[in-house]
Amino acid sequence: MGHRIFRRPKGFKTITEMFESSAKEFAGKEMSRQRRGKGWISYTYADAHSRVRKIAHFLRDEWGIKRGDKVALVGENRPEWGQAYLGVLWAGATVVPLDARLNEMERRYLLDFAEVKHVIVSNRYLKEMLEFRKDLGLKGILSMDENGETPSFASVEERYGGIDRVEVDPEDLAEILFTSGTTGSPKGVMLTHGNIMSDIEGVYQVIPIYEDDVFFSILPLHHVYECTVGFLAPIYIGATVSYARSLRPNEMMEDLKDTRPTVWLTVPLILEKMLTRINREVSKAPPVKKAVFHAFKGSRRIPFVGERLNRRLFRPLHQRLGLDRLKFMVSGGAALPLWVARGMEELGFKMIQGYGLSETSPILTVTPPHDSRLPSVGVPIPGAEIRIFDPNENGEGEIAARGPMIMKGYYKNEKATREVITEDGWFLTGDIGYMDGDGYLYITGRKKAVIVTKGGKNIYPEEIETKVLESPFVEEILVFGAKNPETGDEEVQALVYPNLDAVRDEAHRLGIKPDDEFIYSLVEREIERLTRDLASYKRIKRFALRYEEFPKTTTRKIKRHLFKGLYIEPGEKVKDAGIEEKE
């Protein structure tokens, strides 16, 4: 059972060694591309290799960058981001990728904390860095774009000839990744060349990706999931990456259609929105079309034949979305709800789910393509060990991992490192889960999010959230424990962000005004319907509506820590202002 290992790893020790090899082997092949204006810009492996060598030359000669120095990187997803990343490593330095979605003061704090004196940015963040230069003592700013104020990639191309890569050790730091996750203050995750390469080689052995594959990139490159699996892994195999201009639905869909990828890395929230949109379109179709659609979906239940049949039956849908060449979607960053996984597979899409954290480079487990067993997050990749610590009577406990992909530690925070890495090398993930008899891992919740009742029962909010999210009228939900001030008991409460388009459609169908009372009653019925099979102590006792999206991490997980201490009063129905009806 588990993975079929169908090829041997290439044995690279460092990221720059790997890139140099691929740049030679696939020199004339397209490495990356992105739409710019009315056309597309494209770089071959040879193009990227030439620019990386020149960037490194500039960093060494102009800035005096030495092995182990830190260079921050701030910019939107684009081919030049990857060139900057590789250029820093080529010079022997360490990349500090910063989240482009942070606010100005958050980036300022991280630059100061990491003691970074040199930055590579896109012009979008140039003004900010120029303002920081005096306060933080920045010694160098290099822009990916021409601007007239700082050196740029174009000027580097003209002035520098390029250098050979600086030899580094697998234990040298490649990245310091700052992540606050969903639980609070940022920690700097230190990943070595060896950490990242071991993760790439583990995935390479068990997932069928090849040099003729085309990846579609939409997730933030500063995050380890997209950086390792969506940027570095394609280089390892000689594949092509096509970058979306943005996450604006119209632009993303236009780029998706033009790219026609074979592999798409995404996160559950994007898949939920896509599936919900498809289902809403179907619900408005004539009865005959609707019946045919649901009959086709049912064919998935025929083993083996169903999967191929659904791909053929839903080919027009796949073509309309630009997904007619897609081999599989890879979902990561958060747990994939079973109803979403099944819904996408019923539409003929092959789903692969992975599990891991920034601290694990990130992949620990992945679902075998030949036997996914969703909602499992799969079995460990070669090199990774998984163990359940302190399991209860159901086999659930904290998931721990060990292997060459485990981080070196948290930057300037030995105390936090000791709290999560045991003396014998086990990394405590903070996730709760269990493994079945065949070694498949299942995630049931987060240790810090668990709600403990007065009777000692453990309630995992994710279990309840997954059920309620099956409602077409619920866009997002946050389930949490709140202490009832009268009884002192911990009870299950929730904040719900409704799907306002679906709510308005339902109100229009019923000839009712979609006011707060209507929306609350509609959501209340849905919660009762979808959670009635849960044990009584797990059911939501009170909820309130929220009319704006929840703040999220870059992998689209709700930042739970921001809602700590929240309590919904009896009779309270709305936590925000009301909504405006569409014209």
The whole-number pLDDT of residue 448 equals 82
Per the CB < 8 A criterion, the answer to whether 284 and 504 are in contact is no
Cα–Cα distance for residue pair 240/493, rounded to 1 Å: 46
| Position 578 confidence tier, pLDDT thresholds 50, 70, 90 | very low
pLDDT higher than threshold 60 for residue 112: yes
The whole-number pLDDT of residue 2 equals 80
The whole-number pLDDT of residue 288 equals 67
Q: Which helix (H) or strand (E) holds 166?
A: none
| Position 318 confidence tier, pLDDT thresholds 50, 70, 90 | very high
The whole-number pLDDT of residue 183 equals 43
Neighbours of 324 (CB within 10 A): 16
pLDDT higher than threshold 90 for residue 170: yes
The whole-number pLDDT of residue 238 equals 98
| Position 499 confidence tier, pLDDT thresholds 50, 70, 90 | very high
pLDDT higher than threshold 60 for residue 332: yes
pLDDT, one tens digit per residue, over 241-259 is: 999 999 888 999 999 999 9
The whole-number pLDDT of residue 294 equals 67
- Complete DSSP assignment for 79-131: HHHHHHHHHHHHTT-EEEE--TTS-HHHHHHHHHHTT--EEEE-GGGHHHHHH
Q: Which helix (H) or strand (E) holds 32?
A: strand 30-36
| Position 180 confidence tier, pLDDT thresholds 50, 70, 90 | low
Cα–Cα distance for residue pair 550/478, rounded to 1 Å: 9
What would you report as the CA-atom Rg of the chain, rounded to the nearest whole angstrom? 25
The whole-number pLDDT of residue 135 equals 87
Cα–Cα distance for residue pair 198/401, rounded to 1 Å: 14
Q: What is the pTM of this model?
A: 0.84
| 263-266 and 328-331 beta bridge pairing | parallel
**What single DSSP character describes residue 232?**
I
Domains of the chain (ranges plus CATH)?
A: 15-193 (3.40.50.12780), 450-563 (3.30.300.30)
The whole-number pLDDT of residue 55 equals 98
Half-sphere exposure of residue 466, counting CA atoms within 13 Å on the CB side?
19
The whole-number pLDDT of residue 456 equals 67
Structure tokens, 315: 């080919």
pLDDT higher than threshold 70 for residue 224: yes
pLDDT, one tens digit per residue, over 410-425 is: 999 999 999 999 999 9
Task: Please report where in the chains the tokens 């360490």 appear, as a residue.
Answer: 94
Task: Please report where in the chains the tokens 């453990």 appear, as a residue.
Answer: 458
Highest-pLDDT range among 97-101, 286-290, 380-384:
380-384
The whole-number pLDDT of residue 291 equals 72
Task: Please report where in the chains the tokens 């203050």 appear, as a residue.
Answer: 185
